[in-house]
Structures are given as structure tokens and as C-alpha cells.
Amino acid sequence: MSNQEEKSILQKEVSRRDVLKFAGIGGAGVILGASGLTGALTAFGANPFIDDDQTAVNKVKFYGKHQSGILTKNPEHVYFVALNCIAKSKKELKELFQLWTNYSAQLMNGQLVEPYTANKLLPTADTGEAEGLDASHLTLTFGVGPSLFEKKELGLQHMKPKELADLPHFPKDQLDPNYVGGDICIQACADDPQVAFHAVRNLVRAARGKVTMSWSQTGFNSYEVKNKKKLTPRNLFAFKDGTGNPNVDNEKEMNEVVWVQPGESKSWLTGGTYLVARRIQMHLETWDRTALSAQEATFGRHRDTGAPLGKKGEFDDVGLDRKENDQPVIPVNSHLHLARQVKDRILRRSFSYSDGINPTTGAFDAGLLFISFQKHPKQFINIQNSFGRVDKLNEYITHRGSALFACFPGVKKGSYLGAELFG
């Protein structure tokens, strides 16, 4: 190698170190700035406002009165992640949500979080695995858990709603601490699982130094289509899941069931909602050895149609008081009977999951990522308490994970996620 070649290589390496130093990256590859890599790259200028791109293919609006991931019908794939907050101040956390606002708008437009830099000596701001894919009806939903308000350095204790507390221990719970709680949650739903993962990956990457990952779960749904309309999806037990949901297009119904109204909680949560996440293991091998009649008695519905036992249509009136030969048509210990004997309703947004094989039992590690939205946690709590120990379905499931989050209202143009919380 000539002296000139050695000199050229040395100059390039010095240039690379200088650029990385300017970007806030130490010699060991650790991001020094609290905003993470992308925060370091954009810290020298204010982030521009990113609007909804109405020309984007398979686009869902980011801005609006409510977070769109709660309203959107028929989500196919989910990547749900719970995060621990390690921000050192309210200001840092606020800046993170401001950054996430622009990145979310970009991602839901089907775009990179930031354009690629021409300087190949720097890592790209976007990880790139969704390049060339469309928006895929991506929605991003953000919430905050009760533990976030317990961090004194954030100074948010006085903003915690009294109803935002860890869910109680329910009968038959066998919770795995690896799937419990969280300071912040992100729910990414999309038609394409890679689009959903890409979104979460880049949001978490941008938050390096302010959050760490606690737990995550992927999930999926498939929909039968009849007369160009998607029907209620089936869970891994082959029964329809979500038949009793409120109509998301009916504002009055959603205000009664899902959206927090003025005066019902802290003012920053008006127009928002509460998200319950439960990771439910389904014992498929036990279920598969159960007669169809017993399966239907467990749910209180016919498996093929989803109709209540003794009825023909999925949405027929349940009629809990119906009897045949002096016996209830809908068994009193069925999942349907126990759910309907309380007046509370919730919006279910559940997804099946399959995480390989349980190394101890050799059985499928599969089940349901149960997600529900309600204006008050007591709606879910009342229903779950109704199931108690008598629910026939308890023979086939085990609750392994549990978390509660308060989801912000939607973002107004020119504002940012959680603006009402930060003042």
C-alpha cells in the first residue's frame, strides 16, 4: 500500500469519527443524546409539520378527534409493545411525544420517518425494511400506564386519573411478570405485519435513551368476506370474536361505551379511552379433544354461524331467559351468559397469536392477545369478575399477561400526542 493510499484511508476514518461525534455517538457506538439517534440527527433544527397525505395508497388519517387505531375496522396484524420510561424530566418526555407525532404521521403516510442522508458514513434515520411498501392501513395508538405517573422526576403525579390503576388479580390468573404492566404502550395495526413491526421499531429507535422495551406481542386476524363485507373474525378455537361490539360509526354509542366524556376523568383524557391488554394462553390440544356440542356449550354460541344457541343469526337477540325442557338454552356457566348478565359493554380488538412450541410441554404456545377499549376500567373489571371461577372457558385458557393504559385523545393539526397531559 502506498503512502498516498494510507493517507486517504486515514482521512476517511478521521472524517467518519468527526461526523459520528457531531451526531452524538461515542466511540463504543452508544447514543449520548437523550433523544436517541434520530433525535441527534434532527436536534439542529425544528421538525417540520407533517400532514396527512391523502394521495397515499391504503392510507388511514393520523389527525382527528380520536386516535384512529381505536376506530379503524378489521385490523389484520398487530405489533403491541409496552415500554419502560427512563426519561429524566417532563421536558424530555414531552419532546419524545412531539417527535413521535411527526414520525407517526410519516409512517401512516407510508413514508420513511426521515429521508435517507446522502452521507453513507452515518446510519440511516429509517431502518428501511418497509421501503417500497404502501401505508397498509397502518394505525398507531399510544397510551400511558399507571406506573408512569409514579416517577417523581417527571412531575406528573397530580395528572394521574384515580381510575388508572393496575388491574386487580382475577380468579384463575397465572400472570407471567414478563407480560405485565408498562409505562407507555404503542399499538401498531396494519394489513402487512412488516409495516407494523417497522413502525414500532423506528419509534422505539427514535426514543433511545428515553424508553426501554418491557414486553411485546404480535397478533393476527383473518376475515371471511361475504358480499364484499368483512365478517367477524374467528379466534383459534374457531369461534367468532367481537360479535357484541358497539358500532364504531355510531357516535352516541361510542360516547356511551368507549370515549371519556368531559368531567368523567382528568381533562387531558377527554376524547380518549382506556386500553386493557391481556395475553391469554389457549390450550389448543385440550380444546381439540372436546366434542363440538361441549365447545358450543362453553361459548353459548353455534360455532359455524356465531349465533346464540338456539338461534340462526350471529346478531340475533341472545335471550338469556330462554329455556328448553326446563333447562336454560344458554348454559349459565357459558362465556356468553356470564358476559351478558352484566350491563357493561366494551369494544374488543383481539388478535390471535402463535409463538412456536412450549419447550416444557411440547404443545403450541398460542392464544389470544385480548385488547379492549372502554371509557372506564370498571367496565372490563365487571365483566371479568362475572366470569370468575365458574366460566366454562376457564378449562381451556390461562391468563398470562395483563396491563392497563390510558389512551390519549386524537391529535389536532399543529399539536402533538398527549399535548393536554403536558400542558
Look at residue 233 and tell me if it is in a domain.
no
Look at residue 166 and tell me if it is in a domain.
yes
Look at residue 253 and tell me if it is in a domain.
yes
Look at residue 229 and tell me if it is in a domain.
no
Q: What's the CA gap between 289 and 295, in Å, rounded?
A: 10
Look at residue 227 and tell me if it is in a domain.
no
User: Are 327 and 379 members of one domain?
Assistant: yes
Render pLDDT for 134-152 as a digit per residue (tens, 0 to 9). 999 999 999 999 999 999 9
pLDDT higher than threshold 50 for residue 209:
yes
Q: What is the 3-state secondary structure (H, E, C) of the chain?
A: CCHHHHHHHHHHHHHHHHHHHHCCECCCCCECCCCHHHHHHHCCCCCCCCCCCCCCCCCCCCCCCCCHHHHCCCCCEEEEEEEEECCCCHHHHHHHHHHHHHHHHHHHCCCCCCCCCCCCCCCCCCCCCCCCCCCCCCEEEEEECHHHHHCHHHCCHHHCCCCCCCCCCCCCCCCCHHHECCCEEEEEEECCHHHHHHHHHHHHHHCECCEEEEEEEEEECCCCEECCEECCCECCCCCECCCCCCCCCCHHHHHHHCCCCCCCCCHHHCCCEEEEEEEEEECHHHHHCCCHHHHHHHHCECCCCCCECCCCCCCCCCCCCCEECCEECCCCCCHHHHHHCCCCCCEECCEEEEEEECCCCCCEEEEEEEEEEECCHHHHHHHHHHHCCCCHHHHCEEEEEEEEEEECCCCCCCCCCCHHHHC
Cβ–Cβ under 8 Å, residues 352 and 240: no
Look at residue 231 and tell me if it is in a domain.
no
Residue type, 309: L
Please report the pLDDT score of residue 316 as a whole number: 97
Question: What domain range is 16 assigned to?
Answer: 1-30
Please report the pLDDT score of residue 47 as a whole number: 62
User: Are 256 and 379 members of one domain?
Assistant: no
Please report the pLDDT score of residue 63 as a whole number: 98
| Domain total of the chain | 3
Q: What's the CA gap between 308 and 319, in Å, rounded?
A: 8
User: Are 145 and 2 members of one domain?
Assistant: no
Cβ–Cβ under 8 Å, residues 267 and 330: no
User: Are 80 and 166 members of one domain?
Assistant: yes
User: Are 65 and 191 members of one domain?
Assistant: yes
User: Are 312 and 267 members of one domain?
Assistant: no
As a whole number, the mean pLDDT across the chain is 90
Residue type, 145: G
User: Are 263 and 317 members of one domain?
Assistant: no
Q: What's the CA gap between 11 and 16, in Å, rounded?
A: 9
User: Are 7 and 108 members of one domain?
Assistant: no
* Upper half-sphere CA count for residue 41 (Cβ side, 13 Å): 20
User: Any idea which residue has 353459548 for its cell?
Assistant: 300
Render pLDDT for 221-241 as a digit per residue (tens, 0 to 9). 999 999 999 999 999 999 999
Render pLDDT for 92-105 as a digit per residue (tens, 0 to 9). 999 999 999 999 99
Average pLDDT, integer, range 108-121 = 92
Look at residue 323 and tell me if it is in a domain.
yes
User: Are 316 and 383 members of one domain?
Assistant: yes
Nine-digit cell string for 57:
395508497
Look at residue 230 and tell me if it is in a domain.
no
> Which among 187, 230, 182, 183 is positioned nearest to 68, based on CA atoms?
187
Residue type, 93: L
How much of the chain exceeds pLDDT 70, in percent? 89
C-alpha of 1 from chain center: 56
Render pLDDT for 241-295 as a digit per residue (tens, 0 to 9). 999 999 999 999 999 999 999 999 999 999 999 999 999 999 999 999 999 999 9
Render pLDDT for 375-405 as a digit per residue (tens, 0 to 9). 999 999 999 999 999 999 999 999 999 999 9
Higher pLDDT, 35 or 3: 3
Render pLDDT for 321-344 as a digit per residue (tens, 0 to 9). 999 999 999 999 999 999 999 999
User: Are 23 and 47 members of one domain?
Assistant: no
Please report the pLDDT score of residue 1 as a whole number: 53
User: Are 346 and 313 members of one domain?
Assistant: yes
User: Are 266 and 383 members of one domain?
Assistant: no
Query: Maximum distance among all alpha carbons in the chain?
Result: 99
User: Any idea which residue has 426521515 for its cell?
Assistant: 114
For residue 69, give Cα distances in angstroms to 84, 147, 199: 22, 23, 13
How much of the chain exceeds pLDDT 90, in percent? 86
